[in-house]
Structure 1
Amino acid sequence: MPISTQSAPVASNAHGTLKRIMLQGRYETLAMLGNGEQLIVAAVLPLLALIGLVFTGLLDDVAESPIDAAAPGVLALCVISTAFTGQGIATGFDRRYGVLRFLSTTPLGRAGLIYGKVVAVLTVLVLQVIVIGGISLLMGWRPAVAGIPAGIALLVLGAAAFTALGLLVAGTVRPEATLAITNLAWVLLAAVGGILFPSNRAPDYLQPFVDLLPSAALGDSLRSALISGSTSVSGILILLAWTIIAGFAATRWFKWN
Protein backbone atom coordinates (compact mmCIF):
# COMPACT_ATOMS: atom_id res chain seq x y z
CA MET A 1 0.00 0.00 0.00
CA PRO A 2 1.56 3.33 -1.04
CA ILE A 3 2.35 5.81 1.70
CA SER A 4 1.61 9.47 1.08
CA THR A 5 4.70 11.65 1.18
CA GLN A 6 2.61 14.80 1.60
CA SER A 7 0.93 14.01 4.93
CA ALA A 8 4.04 14.64 7.03
CA PRO A 9 4.81 18.10 5.58
CA VAL A 10 1.13 19.09 5.84
CA ALA A 11 0.98 18.00 9.47
CA SER A 12 4.24 19.80 10.18
CA ASN A 13 2.97 23.00 8.57
CA ALA A 14 -0.28 22.81 10.53
CA HIS A 15 1.63 22.29 13.76
CA GLY A 16 3.92 25.21 12.97
CA THR A 17 0.96 27.47 12.18
CA LEU A 18 -0.80 26.51 15.40
CA LYS A 19 2.38 27.12 17.39
CA ARG A 20 2.80 30.58 15.86
CA ILE A 21 -0.82 31.45 16.62
CA MET A 22 -0.50 30.33 20.25
CA LEU A 23 2.74 32.29 20.67
CA GLN A 24 1.09 35.39 19.22
CA GLY A 25 -1.89 34.78 21.51
CA ARG A 26 0.43 34.61 24.51
CA TYR A 27 2.15 37.82 23.46
CA GLU A 28 -1.19 39.61 23.00
CA THR A 29 -2.42 38.31 26.36
CA LEU A 30 0.66 39.50 28.24
CA ALA A 31 0.45 42.87 26.49
CA MET A 32 -3.17 43.28 27.58
CA LEU A 33 -2.45 42.21 31.15
CA GLY A 34 0.61 44.44 31.33
CA ASN A 35 -1.26 47.56 30.25
CA GLY A 36 -2.48 49.49 33.29
CA GLU A 37 -5.26 51.30 31.43
CA GLN A 38 -6.63 48.08 29.98
CA LEU A 39 -6.51 46.40 33.39
CA ILE A 40 -8.63 49.20 34.81
CA VAL A 41 -11.25 48.73 32.09
CA ALA A 42 -11.06 44.93 32.14
CA ALA A 43 -11.00 44.29 35.90
CA VAL A 44 -11.24 47.31 38.17
CA LEU A 45 -14.28 48.98 36.61
CA PRO A 46 -16.32 45.74 36.31
CA LEU A 47 -15.53 44.96 39.94
CA LEU A 48 -16.64 48.44 41.01
CA ALA A 49 -19.81 48.01 38.95
CA LEU A 50 -20.50 44.70 40.68
CA ILE A 51 -20.13 46.20 44.14
CA GLY A 52 -22.16 49.26 43.21
CA LEU A 53 -25.06 47.28 41.77
CA VAL A 54 -25.23 44.96 44.76
CA PHE A 55 -25.24 47.66 47.43
CA THR A 56 -27.35 50.35 45.74
CA GLY A 57 -30.44 48.22 45.22
CA LEU A 58 -30.78 49.20 41.56
CA LEU A 59 -31.50 45.58 40.55
CA ASP A 60 -33.66 44.50 43.47
CA ASP A 61 -36.65 43.84 41.19
CA VAL A 62 -34.71 41.71 38.68
CA ALA A 63 -33.92 38.68 40.82
CA GLU A 64 -34.43 37.43 44.37
CA SER A 65 -30.92 38.57 45.30
CA PRO A 66 -29.14 41.66 43.92
CA ILE A 67 -25.95 39.66 43.30
CA ASP A 68 -27.88 37.16 41.14
CA ALA A 69 -28.94 40.02 38.87
CA ALA A 70 -25.64 41.91 38.98
CA ALA A 71 -23.16 39.10 38.26
CA PRO A 72 -24.42 38.16 34.74
CA GLY A 73 -24.44 41.80 33.66
CA VAL A 74 -20.93 42.41 34.94
CA LEU A 75 -19.69 39.29 33.13
CA ALA A 76 -21.24 40.70 29.95
CA LEU A 77 -19.46 43.99 30.68
CA CYS A 78 -16.18 42.05 30.90
CA VAL A 79 -16.75 40.81 27.36
CA ILE A 80 -17.13 44.34 26.03
CA SER A 81 -14.17 45.58 28.07
CA THR A 82 -11.79 42.98 26.66
CA ALA A 83 -13.10 42.06 23.21
CA PHE A 84 -14.27 45.51 22.08
CA THR A 85 -12.63 48.31 24.04
CA GLY A 86 -9.32 46.67 24.98
CA GLN A 87 -8.70 44.84 21.72
CA GLY A 88 -9.96 47.73 19.60
CA ILE A 89 -7.60 50.26 21.21
CA ALA A 90 -4.61 47.90 21.11
CA THR A 91 -5.19 47.02 17.46
CA GLY A 92 -5.73 50.65 16.49
CA PHE A 93 -2.39 51.76 17.87
CA ASP A 94 -0.60 48.66 16.53
CA ARG A 95 -1.93 49.67 13.13
CA ARG A 96 -0.73 53.24 13.58
CA TYR A 97 2.83 52.24 14.46
CA GLY A 98 3.12 49.70 11.65
CA VAL A 99 3.08 46.61 13.88
CA LEU A 100 0.15 45.06 12.02
CA ARG A 101 1.73 45.60 8.63
CA PHE A 102 5.00 44.06 9.82
CA LEU A 103 3.40 41.01 11.44
CA SER A 104 1.11 40.40 8.46
CA THR A 105 4.20 39.83 6.27
CA THR A 106 5.75 37.25 8.62
CA PRO A 107 4.99 33.50 8.51
CA LEU A 108 2.24 34.23 11.05
CA GLY A 109 0.25 35.95 8.31
CA ARG A 110 -2.87 38.07 8.59
CA ALA A 111 -5.15 35.17 9.51
CA GLY A 112 -2.72 33.97 12.18
CA LEU A 113 -2.54 37.47 13.63
CA ILE A 114 -6.34 37.64 13.92
CA TYR A 115 -6.51 34.17 15.47
CA GLY A 116 -3.82 35.18 17.94
CA LYS A 117 -5.94 38.14 19.00
CA VAL A 118 -8.94 35.84 19.45
CA VAL A 119 -6.84 33.55 21.66
CA ALA A 120 -5.81 36.55 23.76
CA VAL A 121 -9.39 37.76 24.15
CA LEU A 122 -10.62 34.33 25.24
CA THR A 123 -7.70 33.90 27.65
CA VAL A 124 -8.27 37.25 29.33
CA LEU A 125 -12.02 36.58 29.41
CA VAL A 126 -11.42 33.29 31.24
CA LEU A 127 -9.36 35.15 33.83
CA GLN A 128 -12.11 37.76 34.18
CA VAL A 129 -14.75 35.07 34.68
CA ILE A 130 -12.61 33.41 37.35
CA VAL A 131 -12.03 36.68 39.23
CA ILE A 132 -15.50 38.25 38.88
CA GLY A 133 -17.28 34.92 39.19
CA GLY A 134 -15.24 33.96 42.26
CA ILE A 135 -15.90 37.28 44.00
CA SER A 136 -19.59 37.01 43.09
CA LEU A 137 -19.78 33.53 44.62
CA LEU A 138 -18.21 34.87 47.81
CA MET A 139 -20.88 37.58 47.82
CA GLY A 140 -23.61 34.97 47.67
CA TRP A 141 -24.17 34.49 43.94
CA ARG A 142 -25.94 31.24 43.12
CA PRO A 143 -26.26 30.91 39.33
CA ALA A 144 -28.82 28.51 37.90
CA VAL A 145 -26.88 25.32 37.22
CA ALA A 146 -29.02 24.47 34.20
CA GLY A 147 -28.07 27.78 32.58
CA ILE A 148 -24.29 27.55 33.00
CA PRO A 149 -23.61 25.78 29.64
CA ALA A 150 -25.73 28.37 27.82
CA GLY A 151 -23.95 31.11 29.77
CA ILE A 152 -20.54 29.87 28.65
CA ALA A 153 -21.70 29.66 25.04
CA LEU A 154 -23.10 33.19 25.23
CA LEU A 155 -19.82 34.56 26.60
CA VAL A 156 -17.87 32.96 23.74
CA LEU A 157 -20.37 34.16 21.14
CA GLY A 158 -20.40 37.63 22.66
CA ALA A 159 -16.60 37.69 22.58
CA ALA A 160 -16.70 36.80 18.88
CA ALA A 161 -19.23 39.53 18.07
CA PHE A 162 -17.46 42.27 20.01
CA THR A 163 -13.99 41.26 18.80
CA ALA A 164 -15.25 41.61 15.23
CA LEU A 165 -16.74 45.01 16.07
CA GLY A 166 -13.54 46.11 17.81
CA LEU A 167 -11.42 45.11 14.82
CA LEU A 168 -13.84 46.84 12.46
CA VAL A 169 -13.48 50.13 14.34
CA ALA A 170 -9.71 49.76 14.80
CA GLY A 171 -9.15 48.94 11.15
CA THR A 172 -11.18 51.74 9.60
CA VAL A 173 -10.62 54.91 11.66
CA ARG A 174 -7.66 56.69 13.24
CA PRO A 175 -6.35 55.37 16.61
CA GLU A 176 -7.50 58.52 18.42
CA ALA A 177 -10.99 58.02 17.03
CA THR A 178 -10.87 54.35 18.01
CA LEU A 179 -9.98 55.36 21.55
CA ALA A 180 -12.90 57.78 21.73
CA ILE A 181 -15.44 55.50 20.05
CA THR A 182 -14.68 52.38 22.08
CA ASN A 183 -14.60 54.19 25.42
CA LEU A 184 -17.80 56.12 24.70
CA ALA A 185 -19.52 52.95 23.51
CA TRP A 186 -18.40 51.16 26.69
CA VAL A 187 -20.11 53.79 28.85
CA LEU A 188 -23.29 53.99 26.77
CA LEU A 189 -23.72 50.23 26.41
CA ALA A 190 -23.13 49.70 30.11
CA ALA A 191 -25.68 52.35 31.04
CA VAL A 192 -28.52 51.94 28.52
CA GLY A 193 -27.40 49.15 26.18
CA GLY A 194 -28.81 46.23 28.14
CA ILE A 195 -25.53 45.20 29.77
CA LEU A 196 -25.77 46.09 33.46
CA PHE A 197 -29.51 46.77 33.39
CA PRO A 198 -32.26 44.86 31.54
CA SER A 199 -32.94 46.36 28.14
CA ASN A 200 -36.59 47.04 29.04
CA ARG A 201 -35.36 49.83 31.33
CA ALA A 202 -34.16 51.85 28.38
CA PRO A 203 -36.28 54.91 27.44
CA ASP A 204 -39.27 54.05 25.29
CA TYR A 205 -37.96 55.95 22.28
CA LEU A 206 -34.72 53.89 22.40
CA GLN A 207 -36.32 50.51 23.08
CA PRO A 208 -36.63 49.25 19.46
CA PHE A 209 -33.00 50.16 18.80
CA VAL A 210 -31.63 48.75 22.07
CA ASP A 211 -33.40 45.42 21.54
CA LEU A 212 -31.32 44.84 18.39
CA LEU A 213 -27.96 45.67 19.95
CA PRO A 214 -25.46 42.86 20.63
CA SER A 215 -25.02 44.28 24.13
CA ALA A 216 -28.71 43.82 24.98
CA ALA A 217 -28.72 40.35 23.44
CA LEU A 218 -25.69 39.35 25.53
CA GLY A 219 -26.76 40.99 28.79
CA ASP A 220 -30.41 39.91 28.75
CA SER A 221 -29.57 36.40 27.56
CA LEU A 222 -26.95 35.93 30.28
CA ARG A 223 -29.41 37.09 32.93
CA SER A 224 -32.04 34.67 31.62
CA ALA A 225 -29.56 31.78 31.58
CA LEU A 226 -27.93 32.38 34.96
CA ILE A 227 -31.02 33.53 36.88
CA SER A 228 -33.72 31.19 35.60
CA GLY A 229 -31.76 28.63 33.57
CA SER A 230 -33.58 29.50 30.33
CA THR A 231 -32.03 29.94 26.89
CA SER A 232 -32.84 32.98 24.77
CA VAL A 233 -32.94 31.87 21.14
CA SER A 234 -33.53 35.41 19.91
CA GLY A 235 -30.48 36.64 21.84
CA ILE A 236 -28.30 33.95 20.30
CA LEU A 237 -29.55 34.76 16.80
CA ILE A 238 -28.89 38.49 17.28
CA LEU A 239 -25.34 37.80 18.47
CA LEU A 240 -24.75 35.45 15.53
CA ALA A 241 -26.02 38.09 13.11
CA TRP A 242 -23.73 40.76 14.57
CA THR A 243 -20.77 38.36 14.48
CA ILE A 244 -21.32 37.55 10.81
CA ILE A 245 -22.02 41.13 9.71
CA ALA A 246 -19.19 42.72 11.70
CA GLY A 247 -16.79 39.93 10.72
CA PHE A 248 -17.58 40.39 7.03
CA ALA A 249 -17.27 44.19 7.31
CA ALA A 250 -13.95 43.94 9.16
CA THR A 251 -12.61 41.54 6.53
CA ARG A 252 -13.81 43.79 3.72
CA TRP A 253 -12.71 47.22 4.99
CA PHE A 254 -9.90 46.59 7.47
CA LYS A 255 -6.83 48.66 6.56
CA TRP A 256 -3.53 47.14 7.70
CA ASN A 257 -1.55 50.39 7.46
Structure 2
Amino acid sequence: MTTADPAGAEAALGAMRPGPSSPATRVLAQARFEAVTLLRNGEQLLVAVLLPAAVLVGLVQAESISLGDGRRVDLAVPGVLALCVISSAFTGQAISTAFDRRYGVLRLLGTTPLGRGGLVLAKAVAVLAVIAVQVVLIGALGAALGWEPAGRGIPAALVALILGTWAFAALALLLGGTLRAEGVLAVANLLWVALLGLGGVVVAGTELPARFETVLSLLPSAALGDSLRAALVDGHAAPGAWLVLTAWAVGATLAARRFFRWND
Protein backbone atom coordinates (compact mmCIF):
# COMPACT_ATOMS: atom_id res chain seq x y z
CA MET A 1 0.00 0.00 0.00
CA THR A 2 1.40 3.41 -0.98
CA THR A 3 0.94 6.57 1.01
CA ALA A 4 0.07 9.93 -0.55
CA ASP A 5 2.84 12.47 -0.96
CA PRO A 6 1.18 15.91 -0.96
CA ALA A 7 4.43 17.70 -1.69
CA GLY A 8 5.19 15.44 -4.65
CA ALA A 9 1.64 15.73 -6.00
CA GLU A 10 1.78 19.49 -5.78
CA ALA A 11 5.13 19.54 -7.60
CA ALA A 12 3.72 17.31 -10.34
CA LEU A 13 0.69 19.53 -10.76
CA GLY A 14 2.94 22.60 -10.89
CA ALA A 15 4.99 21.01 -13.64
CA MET A 16 1.82 20.29 -15.62
CA ARG A 17 0.51 23.85 -15.38
CA PRO A 18 1.62 26.09 -18.23
CA GLY A 19 3.89 28.85 -16.99
CA PRO A 20 3.75 32.48 -18.04
CA SER A 21 4.83 33.02 -21.63
CA SER A 22 8.08 34.81 -22.34
CA PRO A 23 8.09 38.37 -23.75
CA ALA A 24 9.33 37.04 -27.10
CA THR A 25 6.45 34.55 -27.27
CA ARG A 26 3.91 37.27 -26.53
CA VAL A 27 5.40 39.56 -29.17
CA LEU A 28 5.44 36.83 -31.82
CA ALA A 29 1.86 35.81 -31.03
CA GLN A 30 0.66 39.41 -31.38
CA ALA A 31 2.74 39.88 -34.54
CA ARG A 32 1.18 36.78 -36.08
CA PHE A 33 -2.29 38.09 -35.23
CA GLU A 34 -1.50 41.52 -36.70
CA ALA A 35 -0.04 40.07 -39.91
CA VAL A 36 -2.93 37.66 -40.49
CA THR A 37 -5.43 40.46 -39.82
CA LEU A 38 -3.73 42.70 -42.38
CA LEU A 39 -3.64 39.98 -45.02
CA ARG A 40 -7.29 39.01 -44.44
CA ASN A 41 -8.53 42.59 -44.70
CA GLY A 42 -9.83 43.11 -48.23
CA GLU A 43 -9.02 46.83 -48.38
CA GLN A 44 -5.50 46.30 -47.04
CA LEU A 45 -4.94 43.36 -49.39
CA LEU A 46 -5.95 45.60 -52.29
CA VAL A 47 -3.43 48.29 -51.31
CA ALA A 48 -0.70 45.85 -50.30
CA VAL A 49 -0.76 43.38 -53.20
CA LEU A 50 -3.28 43.96 -55.97
CA LEU A 51 -2.56 47.63 -56.66
CA PRO A 52 1.25 47.19 -56.68
CA ALA A 53 0.87 44.22 -59.01
CA ALA A 54 -1.35 46.27 -61.32
CA VAL A 55 1.16 49.15 -61.21
CA LEU A 56 3.98 46.77 -62.15
CA VAL A 57 2.13 45.34 -65.14
CA GLY A 58 1.07 48.83 -66.23
CA LEU A 59 4.60 50.24 -66.03
CA VAL A 60 6.06 47.36 -68.02
CA GLN A 61 3.43 47.69 -70.74
CA ALA A 62 3.01 51.50 -70.86
CA GLU A 63 5.79 52.72 -73.14
CA SER A 64 4.60 56.31 -72.80
CA ILE A 65 5.92 56.53 -69.22
CA SER A 66 9.69 57.03 -69.16
CA LEU A 67 11.49 54.95 -66.54
CA GLY A 68 15.06 55.73 -67.63
CA ASP A 69 17.75 53.84 -69.48
CA GLY A 70 17.49 50.07 -69.29
CA ARG A 71 14.91 47.31 -69.55
CA ARG A 72 11.52 48.53 -68.34
CA VAL A 73 10.82 45.52 -66.15
CA ASP A 74 14.22 45.82 -64.41
CA LEU A 75 13.50 49.47 -63.61
CA ALA A 76 9.86 48.92 -62.66
CA VAL A 77 10.21 46.10 -60.12
CA PRO A 78 12.42 47.98 -57.61
CA GLY A 79 10.03 50.93 -57.68
CA VAL A 80 7.04 48.69 -57.08
CA LEU A 81 8.85 47.01 -54.17
CA ALA A 82 9.32 50.48 -52.69
CA LEU A 83 5.61 51.08 -53.20
CA CYS A 84 4.87 47.84 -51.32
CA VAL A 85 6.85 49.11 -48.32
CA ILE A 86 4.91 52.38 -48.34
CA SER A 87 1.60 50.52 -48.69
CA SER A 88 2.16 48.20 -45.72
CA ALA A 89 4.50 50.09 -43.41
CA PHE A 90 2.83 53.47 -43.82
CA THR A 91 -0.67 53.47 -45.31
CA GLY A 92 -1.94 50.20 -43.84
CA GLN A 93 -0.23 50.64 -40.48
CA ALA A 94 -1.32 54.26 -40.02
CA ILE A 95 -4.97 53.40 -40.71
CA SER A 96 -5.03 50.27 -38.52
CA THR A 97 -3.28 52.09 -35.66
CA ALA A 98 -5.69 55.02 -35.83
CA PHE A 99 -8.80 52.84 -35.70
CA ASP A 100 -7.33 50.61 -32.98
CA ARG A 101 -6.74 53.78 -30.97
CA ARG A 102 -10.25 55.02 -31.67
CA TYR A 103 -11.91 51.81 -30.46
CA GLY A 104 -9.70 51.47 -27.37
CA VAL A 105 -7.75 48.43 -28.61
CA LEU A 106 -4.36 50.09 -28.12
CA ARG A 107 -5.21 51.17 -24.59
CA LEU A 108 -6.41 47.67 -23.72
CA LEU A 109 -3.38 45.89 -25.18
CA GLY A 110 -1.06 48.37 -23.49
CA THR A 111 -2.30 47.18 -20.06
CA THR A 112 -1.75 43.47 -20.82
CA PRO A 113 1.53 41.60 -20.14
CA LEU A 114 2.44 42.40 -23.75
CA GLY A 115 2.91 46.04 -22.76
CA ARG A 116 3.19 49.08 -24.94
CA GLY A 117 6.74 48.36 -26.01
CA GLY A 118 5.83 44.79 -26.90
CA LEU A 119 2.85 45.99 -28.92
CA VAL A 120 4.99 48.38 -30.98
CA LEU A 121 7.58 45.64 -31.55
CA ALA A 122 4.85 43.19 -32.59
CA LYS A 123 3.54 45.70 -35.12
CA ALA A 124 7.05 46.09 -36.55
CA VAL A 125 7.49 42.32 -36.88
CA ALA A 126 4.05 42.01 -38.51
CA VAL A 127 4.89 44.71 -41.05
CA LEU A 128 8.17 43.00 -41.92
CA ALA A 129 6.33 39.70 -42.38
CA VAL A 130 3.75 41.27 -44.70
CA ILE A 131 6.49 43.02 -46.70
CA ALA A 132 8.32 39.69 -47.04
CA VAL A 133 5.16 38.21 -48.58
CA GLN A 134 4.88 41.21 -50.91
CA VAL A 135 8.51 40.88 -52.00
CA VAL A 136 7.99 37.21 -52.86
CA LEU A 137 4.77 37.86 -54.80
CA ILE A 138 6.02 40.93 -56.69
CA GLY A 139 9.36 39.23 -57.31
CA ALA A 140 7.57 36.21 -58.77
CA LEU A 141 5.39 38.43 -60.96
CA GLY A 142 8.46 40.38 -62.07
CA ALA A 143 10.28 37.15 -62.92
CA ALA A 144 7.30 36.08 -65.02
CA LEU A 145 7.58 39.40 -66.88
CA GLY A 146 11.30 38.87 -67.46
CA TRP A 147 12.88 40.64 -64.48
CA GLU A 148 16.60 39.96 -64.02
CA PRO A 149 17.85 41.61 -60.80
CA ALA A 150 21.54 42.25 -60.14
CA GLY A 151 22.42 39.48 -57.71
CA ARG A 152 25.33 41.31 -56.11
CA GLY A 153 22.97 44.11 -55.10
CA ILE A 154 20.57 41.94 -53.07
CA PRO A 155 22.27 42.64 -49.69
CA ALA A 156 22.07 46.38 -50.37
CA ALA A 157 18.41 45.98 -51.34
CA LEU A 158 17.69 44.24 -48.02
CA VAL A 159 19.32 47.13 -46.13
CA ALA A 160 17.19 49.61 -48.09
CA LEU A 161 14.01 47.61 -47.38
CA ILE A 162 14.74 47.51 -43.64
CA LEU A 163 15.56 51.22 -43.43
CA GLY A 164 12.52 52.09 -45.54
CA THR A 165 10.26 49.93 -43.37
CA TRP A 166 11.59 51.62 -40.22
CA ALA A 167 11.12 55.11 -41.64
CA PHE A 168 7.60 54.59 -42.96
CA ALA A 169 6.41 52.55 -39.97
CA ALA A 170 7.59 55.34 -37.65
CA LEU A 171 5.77 57.89 -39.81
CA ALA A 172 2.67 55.69 -39.67
CA LEU A 173 2.75 55.60 -35.86
CA LEU A 174 3.24 59.36 -35.78
CA LEU A 175 0.24 59.93 -38.06
CA GLY A 176 -1.97 57.19 -36.64
CA GLY A 177 -1.21 58.21 -33.07
CA THR A 178 -1.98 61.91 -33.37
CA LEU A 179 -4.88 62.50 -35.80
CA ARG A 180 -8.43 61.20 -35.55
CA ALA A 181 -9.14 57.98 -37.42
CA GLU A 182 -11.16 59.60 -40.23
CA GLY A 183 -8.41 62.14 -40.81
CA VAL A 184 -5.75 59.42 -40.90
CA LEU A 185 -7.80 57.46 -43.44
CA ALA A 186 -7.98 60.46 -45.76
CA VAL A 187 -4.39 61.68 -45.29
CA ALA A 188 -2.78 58.23 -45.57
CA ASN A 189 -4.58 57.38 -48.81
CA LEU A 190 -3.95 60.83 -50.27
CA LEU A 191 -0.23 60.59 -49.49
CA TRP A 192 -0.09 57.11 -51.06
CA VAL A 193 -1.47 58.49 -54.33
CA ALA A 194 0.79 61.57 -54.20
CA LEU A 195 3.93 59.53 -53.54
CA LEU A 196 3.00 57.08 -56.29
CA GLY A 197 2.77 59.88 -58.84
CA LEU A 198 5.34 62.45 -57.74
CA GLY A 199 7.28 60.91 -54.88
CA GLY A 200 10.09 59.33 -56.88
CA VAL A 201 8.90 55.85 -55.94
CA VAL A 202 8.06 53.94 -59.13
CA VAL A 203 9.45 56.62 -61.44
CA ALA A 204 12.93 57.91 -60.60
CA GLY A 205 13.30 61.60 -59.81
CA THR A 206 15.56 62.00 -62.85
CA GLU A 207 12.55 61.25 -65.04
CA LEU A 208 10.34 63.85 -63.36
CA PRO A 209 10.37 67.64 -64.01
CA ALA A 210 13.58 69.30 -62.82
CA ARG A 211 11.66 71.66 -60.50
CA PHE A 212 10.92 68.69 -58.23
CA GLU A 213 14.57 67.64 -57.90
CA THR A 214 15.38 69.49 -54.66
CA VAL A 215 12.25 68.31 -52.87
CA LEU A 216 12.62 64.73 -54.10
CA SER A 217 16.18 64.51 -52.82
CA LEU A 218 14.81 64.95 -49.29
CA LEU A 219 11.81 62.60 -49.46
CA PRO A 220 12.00 59.12 -47.92
CA SER A 221 9.93 57.75 -50.81
CA ALA A 222 12.49 58.83 -53.42
CA ALA A 223 15.36 57.64 -51.22
CA LEU A 224 13.79 54.20 -50.93
CA GLY A 225 13.01 53.95 -54.65
CA ASP A 226 16.47 55.18 -55.67
CA SER A 227 18.29 52.87 -53.26
CA LEU A 228 16.36 49.82 -54.50
CA ARG A 229 16.98 50.75 -58.13
CA ALA A 230 20.69 51.24 -57.42
CA ALA A 231 20.87 47.84 -55.73
CA LEU A 232 18.73 45.73 -58.05
CA VAL A 233 19.52 47.42 -61.38
CA ASP A 234 23.14 48.57 -60.97
CA GLY A 235 24.18 46.20 -58.19
CA HIS A 236 25.59 48.78 -55.77
CA ALA A 237 24.63 50.52 -52.55
CA ALA A 238 23.32 54.08 -52.25
CA PRO A 239 24.72 55.49 -48.98
CA GLY A 240 23.24 58.93 -49.60
CA ALA A 241 19.73 57.49 -49.90
CA TRP A 242 20.31 55.36 -46.81
CA LEU A 243 21.28 58.48 -44.89
CA VAL A 244 18.02 60.19 -45.90
CA LEU A 245 16.00 57.14 -44.83
CA THR A 246 17.83 56.94 -41.51
CA ALA A 247 17.25 60.63 -40.81
CA TRP A 248 13.51 60.25 -41.46
CA ALA A 249 13.38 57.05 -39.40
CA VAL A 250 15.10 58.57 -36.36
CA GLY A 251 13.17 61.84 -36.59
CA ALA A 252 9.79 60.14 -36.95
CA THR A 253 10.58 57.69 -34.13
CA LEU A 254 11.44 60.49 -31.72
CA ALA A 255 8.37 62.49 -32.76
CA ALA A 256 6.11 59.44 -32.36
CA ARG A 257 7.47 58.80 -28.86
CA ARG A 258 6.75 62.42 -27.96
CA PHE A 259 3.32 62.94 -29.51
CA PHE A 260 1.72 59.47 -29.79
CA ARG A 261 -1.58 59.24 -27.91
CA TRP A 262 -2.89 55.85 -26.80
CA ASN A 263 -6.42 57.25 -26.38
CA ASP A 264 -8.45 58.94 -29.13
Q: TM-score, normalised by structure 2?
A: 0.90
The answer to whether 1:30 aligns with 2:36 is yes
Cα distance change of structure 1 residues 138 and 63 upon mapping to structure 2, 3 Å threshold: farther
Question: Aligned AA for 1:28?
Answer: E
Cα distance change of structure 1 residues 65 and 26 upon mapping to structure 2, 3 Å threshold: same
- Corresponding residue number in structure 2 for 1:217: 223
Query: Does the Cα contact within 8 Å between 2:48 and 2:84 map onto a contact in 1?
Result: yes
Alignment partner for residue 85 of structure 1, among 75, 91, 97?
91
- Corresponding residue number in structure 2 for 1:167: 173
Spell out the pairing of 1:210-249 with structure 2 (5 A cutoff).
210-249=216-255
After TM superposition, where is structure 1 displaced by more than 4 Å over at least 4 residues in a row?
A: 58-61
Question: Aligned AA for 2:32?
Answer: R
Q: TM-score, normalised by structure 1?
A: 0.92
1:4-45 per-position Cα deviation (integer Å, ceiling 9, x unaligned): xxxxxxxx98x7100000001001001101100000000000
Deviation, 1:199, is 1.2
Distance 1:217 1:58 in 2: 24
Query: Does the Cα contact within 8 Å between 1:59 and 1:70 map onto a contact in 2?
Result: no
1:123-181 per-position Cα deviation (integer Å, ceiling 9, x unaligned): 00000000000110111100011111100111111011000000100000000110111
The answer to whether 1:16 aligns with 2:22 is yes
1:172-195 per-position Cα deviation (integer Å, ceiling 9, x unaligned): 000011011110110111111010
Deviation, 1:210, is 1.4
Moved more, 166-175 or 52-61: 52-61
Deviation, 1:231, is 1.0
- Structure index of larger Rg: 2
Spell out the pairing of 1:1-257 with structure 2 (5 A cutoff).
16-58=22-64, 62-257=68-263
Deviation, 1:58, is 4.5
Deviation, 1:201, is 2.9
1:87-131 per-position Cα deviation (integer Å, ceiling 9, x unaligned): 110000000000000000111000000000001100000000000
Distance 2:140 2:86 in 1: 19
Question: Aligned AA for 2:88?
Answer: T
5+ residue gaps, structure 2: 1-18
Deviation, 1:60, is 5.5
Deviation, 1:211, is 1.0
Cα distance change of structure 1 residues 158 and 58 upon mapping to structure 2, 3 Å threshold: farther
5+ residue gaps, structure 1: 1-11
Query: Does the Cα contact within 8 Å between 1:63 and 1:227 map onto a contact in 2?
Result: no
Give the length in aligned residue pairs: 245
Moved more, 43-52 or 199-208: 199-208
What SS does the aligned partner of 1:133 have?
helix
Cα distance change of structure 1 residues 186 and 208 upon mapping to structure 2, 3 Å threshold: same
Moved more, 137-146 or 93-102: 137-146
